[in-house]
Amino acid sequence: MTRTKVAVIGSGNIGTDLMIKVLRLSQTLEMGALVGIDPDSDGLARAKRLGVPTTSDGVDGLIALPGFEDVRIVFDATSAKAHVANAAKLEPYGKQLIDLTPAAIGPYVVPVVNLDENLDAPNVNMVTCGGQATIPIVAAIGRVTPVHYGEIVASIASKSAGPGTRANIDEFTETTTAAIEAVGGAKRGKAIIVLNPAEPPLIMRDTVLCLTDPLDEQARRHITESIEAMVAEIATYVPGYRLKQEVQFTELAADEPTHTLAPDLEAAERCQVSVFLEVEGAAHYLPAYAGNLDIMTSAALRVGETLAARSVQAGGLSAEAQR
Beta sheet of 96-99, edge-to-edge order: 54-55, 29-35, 4-9, 71-76, 96-99, 123-125
- Kindly write down the DSSP assignment for every residue of 176-219, as one continuous string: HHHHHHHTT--SSEEEEEEEE--SSPPPEEEEEEEEES---HHH
- Strands 4-9, 71-76: pairing is parallel
* Backbone torsion region of residue 10, taken as left when φ is above 0, otherwise alpha when ψ lies between -120 and 50, otherwise beta: left
Q: What's the rounded Cα separation, in Å, for the pair 143 and 155?
A: 26
Q: What's the rounded Cα separation, in Å, for the pair 322 and 29?
A: 26
CA distances from 310 to 95, 97, 303 (A): 14, 15, 11
Kindly report the backbone phi and psi dihedral angles of residue 317, in degrees, each rounded to the nearest multiple of 5, phi listed first.
-65, -40
Residue among 129, 156, 157, 277 flagged as catalytic: 129
Q: What's the rounded Cα separation, in Å, for the pair 58 and 70?
A: 18
Is 210 labeled as catalytic in the residue annotation?
no
Q: What's the rounded Cα separation, in Å, for the pair 264 and 254?
A: 14
| Catalytic residue positions, numbered | 129
